[in-house]
Structure 1
């Protein structure tokens, strides 16, 4: 155990076997976590692996095991936004811990035709599983995934032809409905809405929840202002709503915003109009980003636990890759309404 292999060349499995005093087949069994190796031998081999810094050759292992141990990610809409970036970070962490390499192909939010090309690229790279991080419209029909590749979609409906597609996501529609109902309970005659881009599934789900809450209460519905997820977009959309309120005579006293970044921009527009949150305009966002609670007026929001959603989805994908039944194909997680100062006036003590 005192012999050390010089680092001038790459350490091989043969080196590990020689130092540990076992066969190369035994080293292979330990590296691939196969049975028929005693605990003492396994510990000895792993100690040598750590000592000499042995790293298995991924290409060679793939030839032996017929497994690439590669997961591909289609990062739709880029990763500049809080939700997609949070999902990607957790997918990467889980994949690395499980011993999988990760390939990421980013596509433009407006380039739906690129999504199929991204899947084809990942399949050509030998990806065993493909993760679709944020579904957007991609044209008619379903995306085609080659047989034998497992698929995990973070969303609420199938987007591929795979009969084994795993789907997981927060119940965004119910979360939006809860937010809108909370504002109505505060006594507002109606609730305006700043929506995200309508080619995103998330935007439509949140808009639909907002609309259902208004319809259930029988209150008037004002057409939503569509924006682009950014603070500047939220600012412009809020200015438009305030201007329309003056023109139509329908007061804008409460707004449900499809994400927190737009909501923060909207609060700035309200302030610049000489109004106060929540005294003149109450507001609720969506996502619960890390700065939401630390605004000058803490922002009420709908919390999605992106880390938990990603971990559950990846656990099911990894089980499927290992040949186990992953359980129910479609999993919906609850979104949580977080009430802060921006949506209700706190009574004075």
Structure 2
């Protein structure tokens, strides 16, 4: 189906990646042609110039002025935790940066609160990095970044309802709604939520999705209990949770779900015969648990590539950076969920 563009919405201006796609070359080759650098074959140069003319592409003067001053180094501010999500994002971003021949200077923010992250950013600025990437685990960090007057782009990996051109994310909200929808469609009427850390953007978006799906179906809502993403916290909560046969639990991540499975088993409750459990992340162990865990899969490789593409665009063509639609999640149904016994 074709959707007409509203008359008052301007056409998107072509950027360096559009030129590269049309010419069938890398964006680095386009950059070399634009800056009249050597080591470009005449036929390739001609193809790039033709694409530039065809798209009426005009490079940003500010970006071109910065070309000779770049260090080809990106600062990555990663939380000082071993949680699966942030660790996976950092790993795949490093892969994507290496593929673009960029170095990554990774700094672990031992204090993930806004003040601690601000100090780490200031340290990276002194190293003359070309851009900074933040893996955000505290919502207050986003406000700190918005308040900084920086000469380089800062790209944040953070799930939030408030969109921004330099924010990239996986759609935690719709992933959570899909998890709750699955449980509701099986026939569960009471769906509890073991949420992640209280100030984590991912946890807040998953909790928002859980609430909205319950509200849309007019199902009873019990206030969620917060863990800290660990299996230990899931076990602790599972041991104390007011849960009865026929209920279901949406856990904020797979590791808390693992702890929850263990606690329910110790209480004499069977999964999924008595209680259905859904996790989030699809960690490598999820398919091999007993029972195998129904969960929401995130594509961290795609997110790492998206972050790198956003960085490159922000450095090469800052005027053409636009908001991105969050990457989709996928519900993976295994045997930790089933219809409640009648």
Query: Would you say same fold, with TM above 0.5?
Result: yes
Match of 1:178 in 2: 178
Match of 1:299 in 2: 293
TM-superposed CA distance for 1:302, in Å, is: 0.7
Q: Return closer, same or farther for 1:179/1:331 CA change in 2, 3 Å cut-off.
A: same
Match of 1:92 in 2: 94
Correspondence 1:7-156 to 2 at 5 A? 35-37=37-39, 65-76=68-79, 78-108=80-110, 111-138=113-140, 141-143=143-145, 144-156=147-159
TM-superposed CA distance for 1:303, in Å, is: 0.8
Where do 5+ consecutive residues of structure 2 fail to align? 1-31, 43-65
Where do 5+ consecutive residues of structure 1 fail to align? 1-29, 41-62
Instruction: Give the conservation status (yes or no) of the 8 Å contact 1:69–1:128.
Output: yes
1:196 equivalent in alignment to 2:196: yes
Match of 2:224 in 1: 224
Q: Please tell me the root mean square deviation across aligned C-alpha atoms, in Å.
A: 2.8
Q: Return closer, same or farther for 1:70/1:146 CA change in 2, 3 Å cut-off.
A: farther
TM-superposed CA distance for 1:122, in Å, is: 1.1
Instruction: Give the conservation status (yes or no) of the 8 Å contact 2:233–2:256.
Output: yes
Q: In structure 1, how many angstroms separate the alpha carbons of the residues matched to 2:219 and 2:161? A: 33
Instruction: Give the conservation status (yes or no) of the 8 Å contact 2:313–2:321.
Output: no
Q: In structure 2, how many angstroms separate the alpha carbons of the residues matched to 1:113 and 1:178? A: 35
After superposing the two structures, state which structure 1 stretch, 115-124 or 316-325, moved more.
Answer: 316-325
After superposing the two structures, state which structure 1 stretch, 142-151 or 172-181, moved more.
Answer: 142-151
Instruction: Give the conservation status (yes or no) of the 8 Å contact 2:111–2:117.
Output: no
Match of 1:13 in 2: none
Greater relative contact order structure (CA < 8 Å, 6+ sep): 2
Q: Return closer, same or farther for 1:273/1:346 CA change in 2, 3 Å cut-off.
A: closer
1:343 equivalent in alignment to 2:311: no
Deviations 1:222-264 (A, max 9, x none): 11111010011101111121xx34xxxx766200000001101
Instruction: Give the conservation status (yes or no) of the 8 Å contact 2:314–2:321.
Output: no
TM-superposed CA distance for 1:345, in Å, is: 6.0
Instruction: Give the conservation status (yes or no) of the 8 Å contact 1:128–1:148.
Output: no
TM-superposed CA distance for 1:148, in Å, is: 2.8
Count residues in correspondence: 284
Which of structures 1 and 2 has the bigger CA Rg? 1
Q: Return closer, same or farther for 1:281/1:346 CA change in 2, 3 Å cut-off.
A: closer
Instruction: Give the conservation status (yes or no) of the 8 Å contact 1:191–1:256.
Output: yes
Match of 1:15 in 2: none
SS in 2 for 1:266: helix
1:282 equivalent in alignment to 2:276: yes
Instruction: Give the conservation status (yes or no) of the 8 Å contact 2:195–2:203.
Output: yes
Instruction: Give the conservation status (yes or no) of the 8 Å contact 1:113–1:138.
Output: no
Q: Return closer, same or farther for 1:109/1:205 CA change in 2, 3 Å cut-off.
A: farther
Match of 1:331 in 2: 325
